Amino acid sequence: MAKRKTTEERALEVLICARDLVAKPGGWIKHRLKHRRTKTEMEQGQAEYAYCVLGAIYKCSGRAGRTRSNYSAMATAIVEECIPAWSLSSISSFNDAQTTRQRDVVALFNRAIKRMEKEVAKQDAAAA
């Protein structure tokens, strides 16, 4: 029987998925959770949808409406911990800041992924 994934493992999957969404050409956007690209933009190699940091987390966690999973909440909390101090610990202010670029958002997700990988490794070591 397959081992049931922990909340930490599922949160890690959400973070990797979210990073991959915003890393695509045209995959990241400011001031909105989600934006559908035009046919012309997609023909130019842009992703069909662009997401902000939270929009990507919500998309990858399957969050619908007001429901919130433990792993979605955990992924969001880890991202908040990895935000640079100048953003006042707000995911939205970091995402929407004038100076924030797509590479900054991808780097934020990479930091969050590394932190979550350490948490998963700790759990695996404790379970062994």
Report the alpha-carbon distance of residue 88 to residue 9 in Å, rounded: 28
Q: What share of the chain is helix, strand, coil (3-state, %, to 5)?
A: 60, 5, 35
What is the reported pLDDT for 63? 60
What is the reported pLDDT for 68? 58
- Using the CB atoms, write b or e for 84-119: b if 16+ within 10 Å: eeebeeebeebbbeeebebeebeebbebbbeebeeb
pTM: 0.88
The list of the chain residues with pLDDT below 70 reads 1-2, 63-68, 87-89
What is the reported pLDDT for 116? 94
